[in-house]
Amino acid sequence: MLSTKDAIALENQYGAHNYHPLPVVLARGEGVYVWDPEGNRYFDFLSAYSAVNQGHCHPHIIDALKQQSETLTLTSRAFYNNVLGEFEKLVCDTFGFENVLPMNTGAEGVETAIKICRKWAYEKKGVPENEAKIVVCSNNFHGRTTTIISFSDDSNARDHFGPYTPGFVKVPYNDLQKLNEALQDETVAGFLVEPIQGEAGVNVPDDDYLRKAAELCGRHNVLLIADEIQTGIARTGSMLAVCGNCTCEGACERRADTYVRPDLLILGKALAGGVYPVSAVLADKEIMDVIKPGQHGSTFGGNPLGVRVAIAALEVVRDENLIQNARKLGSIFRSEMKKLQSECSLVATVRGKGLLNAVEINDSPDSSTAWDLCVKLKENGLLAKPTHGNIIRFAPPLVMTKEQLMECISIIRKTFLEWG
């Protein structure tokens, strides 16, 4: 097996340098743990950006992968396959929509939602051809395609990749007044929003932001498009972040007082437990029906291997009560981090929901403090990654036990307190 040093050297020599990884090589994973080639064990506090909510190599998901991989993997959508319908019914029932369109990566899910929204604007809302606009938020992260980076305000993601796709209007996140102003334009077709901004540093909006945004969208006949690629599938202590404080396990009554219903819902990442790339856009028929045969698709979207894995991944969320566990461990984590904050001047703020949390470090976003702390955390057996300079996101797999979490908290405490 390649050593840590050799594996890093090979990636550095032959790989494009489009990432700046922490200097650790992962060779194996199981549940909340990963190991490097030398056999050192780490707690994974990134979970592949919340794709591995069900834990690494979950046996139920891997069984599904093994069985389906020996049976049928890819048919294309030129033919029906005998797994896709089962997946479609399960996700529609679980999330409360009439139809689903399966894709592969998250960015493809976002692109799909944008296309559906624009087509709906011309065919149902009556927006003049080529004039549809979609309102997006500042500091958004929705993926890496040329259209999606066109409405990013991260210069790293955007600069020198133009010309940019037109038709997007930006408003500040968590600002209902600015949203309301933008919605006065009758060519606005949709409002694309993350219920919590993960990449931007786990920005949690005001409690009533999404509900009021949904009301404004409804009043102006604008589609609310929720990107739950990172926040969905139990991560924030409910099946979807738009479920708010609902305590259901998925197929629930979705009480009006806790649930904000998007018109288009985008899922990815943990939808297939980090075992296979599966994304999906959900909507009711009235909206989804604008897409006719030949107008959108993907060779791999809805393939039997991916959707079989996704079915198993959703079963794990239900059978292992990951919603409740994320909620319970998340509140322990935040209260322990707030305790640390009172003892340690390094911690500026603690925020998050469920097991999607962040600690903002008391230093300039240009400093290397958060990075250096993550290197120390790694040396102490815990893997986390800074986002936006001085923010550390903490997002372990949702299968963590309370005992494991307490061990992790003591690693974080030790690392921060030793720093000074």
Ligand X SMILES: *Cc1c(COP(=O)(O)O)cnc(C)c1O
* Residues sharing a CB contact under 8 Å with residue 171, sequence separation 6 or more, in sequence order: 135, 136, 137, 138, 178, 179, 181, 182
| Binder among 42, 45, 49, 151 for ligand X (CB under 6 A) | 49
- 83 vs 278, beta carbon nearer ligand X: 278
Among candidate residues 191, 227, 300, 378, the one labeled active-site is 227
3-state secondary structure of 50: helix
By CB under 6 A, residue 134 contacts ligand X: no
Q: Which two tokens stand for residue 102?
A: 């399966």
Are the CB atoms for 103 and 112 separated by under 8 Å? yes
Active site residue 207: no
> 232 or 409: whose CB is closer to ligand X?
232
Count of residues that interact with ligand X, criterion CB under 6 A: 16
Could you say whether residue 262 binds ligand X (CB under 6 A)? no
Of 68 and 140, nearer to ligand X (C-beta) is 140
User: Phi and psi for 171 in degrees, rounded to 5?
Assistant: -125, 155
The binder of ligand X chosen from 55, 96, 102, 106 (CB under 6 A): 106
Query: Contact 276/309 with Cβ under 8 angstroms?
Result: yes
348 SS3 class = strand
CB nearer ligand X, residue 107 or residue 260: 107
At residue 109, what is the residue type? G
Q: Which is nearer to ligand X, 55 or 106 (CB)?
A: 106
Cross-strand pairs, 266:
227, 281
385: phi then psi, degrees, rounded to nearest 5: -135, 135
Figure out which of the listed residues 83, 107, 265, 356 binds ligand X, where binding follows CB under 6 A: 107
Instruction: Please give the Cα distance from 29 to 57 (Å, whole number).
Output: 7
Q: Should residue 143 be labelled a site residue for ligand X when binding is judged by CB under 6 A?
A: yes
- Cα 357 to chain center, whole Å? 13
Instruction: Give the residue, chosen from 110, 234, 287, 382, that forms a contact with ligand X under the rule CB under 6 A.
Output: 110
Q: Which stretch binds ligand X (CB under 6 A): 6-14, 17-25, 140-148, 336-344?
A: 140-148
Among the residue ranges 76-84, 101-109, 235-243, 319-327, the one whose residues contact ligand X (CB under 6 A): 101-109
Beta carbon of residue 232, minimum distance to ligand X (angstroms, whole number): 9
DSSP state for residue 123 in the 8-state scheme: I
> What distance lies between CA 61 and its chain's CA centroid?
19
DSSP labels, 290-311: T--TTSS--SSTT-HHHHHHHH
Binding segment for ligand X among 138-146, 298-306, 313-321, 328-336 (CB under 6 A)?
Answer: 138-146
> Among 194, 263, 336, 360, which residue interacts with ligand X (rule: CB under 6 A)?
194
* Of 352, 81, 397, residue with least CA distance to 241: 352
Question: Dihedral of CA 94/225/359/50: which sign?
Answer: positive
105 binds ligand X (CB under 6 A): yes
171-195: b (≥16 Cβ within 10 Å) or e: bebbbbebbeebbeeeebbbbbbbb
The verdict on 263 binding ligand X (CB under 6 A) reads: no
Q: Is 79 noted as a catalytic residue in this protein?
A: no
Q: What's the CA gap between 70 and 62, in Å, rounded?
A: 12
Of the residues 119, 125, 269, 385, which is catalytic? 269
Decide: is 276 part of the binding site for ligand X (CB under 6 A): no
Asked if 268 interacts with ligand X (CB under 6 A), we say: yes
φ, ψ for residue 137, nearest 5 deg = -110, 150
Answer yes or no: are the C-beta atoms of 262 and 214 closer than 8 Å.
yes
Least separation, in Å, of the C-beta of 106 and ligand X? 2
In the complex, least distance from residue 185 CB atom to ligand X, rounded to whole angstroms: 25
**300 counts as catalytic:** no
Task: Check residue 229 for interaction with ligand X (CB under 6 A).
Answer: yes
CA distance 206 to 397: 26
Site stretch for ligand X (CB under 6 A), options 75-83, 163-171, 222-230, 241-249: 222-230
- Using the rule CB under 6 A, is 142 a contact of ligand X? yes
- Tell whether residue 227 is a contact of ligand X (CB under 6 A): yes
User: Does residue 152 interact with ligand X by CB under 6 A?
Assistant: no
What are the catalytic residues? 141, 227, 269
User: Given the rule CB under 6 A, which residues bind ligand X?
Assistant: 49, 105-107, 110, 141-143, 194, 198-199, 227, 229-230, 268-269
